Amino acid sequence: MAAVEFPVSEFVTVFEITRNSNGIFADVLFRLLIGVACLIGGLFVVVRKWRRGAGAASRIAPLFLIVWSLAWLYLHDFPHVFGRINKLLNGYEEKKYQVVEGLVEVLHQQPATGHAKGDIVVVNGKQFEVNYFYATPAYHNTLAHGGVLGRDVYARIYYYNGEILRIDIRER
């Protein structure tokens, strides 16, 4: 009996979005936990001091903690962040993305320290900005941080709303 040979794909997937791509989901959950823990802790201490009849001066620190935690929760805008993660992931899972394929041309390279716009890459006329310092579950690795979108790389990019959800590169 002859062995069946399957064709080998000429592309290799080097990035594919997931819920915790780039550690974003875990980071957001950790920050949410900090805010909720401080809020509950502050409320617990204020109520305990109030029940014991402690003076108003002893409640200043826990009240500050409550105000700080509310500001922390408000400023991190968790519903927006979780919604953005879901939007990008759903765009990929529901195949709402667009695909572009071709040689990568690098117009600008972000320095390793940041303080400049991200890598500007063009593939078959479609321009992308890849910024390592932008917290996103989408692709964000610049060339200075081990990115794969370098000059003369042949890539297939799946993107949604301008953000890269998947990158396949042609094997050489």
What pLDDT does 53 receive? 82
For helices 60-76 and 78-93, the axis angle rounded to 10 degrees is: 30
- 44 pLDDT exceeds 90? yes
Cβ atoms of residues 20 and 86 within 8 Å: no
Class of residue 85 by CB neighbours under 10 A (exposed 0-12, middle 13-18, buried 19+): buried
Cβ atoms of residues 160 and 88 within 8 Å: yes
What pLDDT does 3 receive? 59
Beta partners for residue 119, in sequence order: 130
- 149 pLDDT exceeds 70? yes
Which alpha helices (DSSP H) does the chain contain, by range? Answer: 24-51, 60-76, 78-93
User: For the segment 1-10, what is each residue's pLDDT rounded down to a tens digit?
Assistant: 555 565 556 8
Helix (H) or strand (E) holding 169: strand 163-170
User: For the segment 58-107, what is each residue's pLDDT rounded down to a tens digit?
Assistant: 889 999 999 999 999 999 999 999 999 999 999 999 999 999 999 999 99
Mean pLDDT for the stretch of residues 149-165: 95
> Which two tokens mark 51?
């029940």
Quote the CA–CA distance of 9 and 49 in Å, as a whole number: 67
Does the predicted model carry a pTM greater than 0.85?
no
pLDDT band at 54 (very low <50, low <70, confident <90, very high): confident
Mean pLDDT for the stretch of residues 31-57: 91
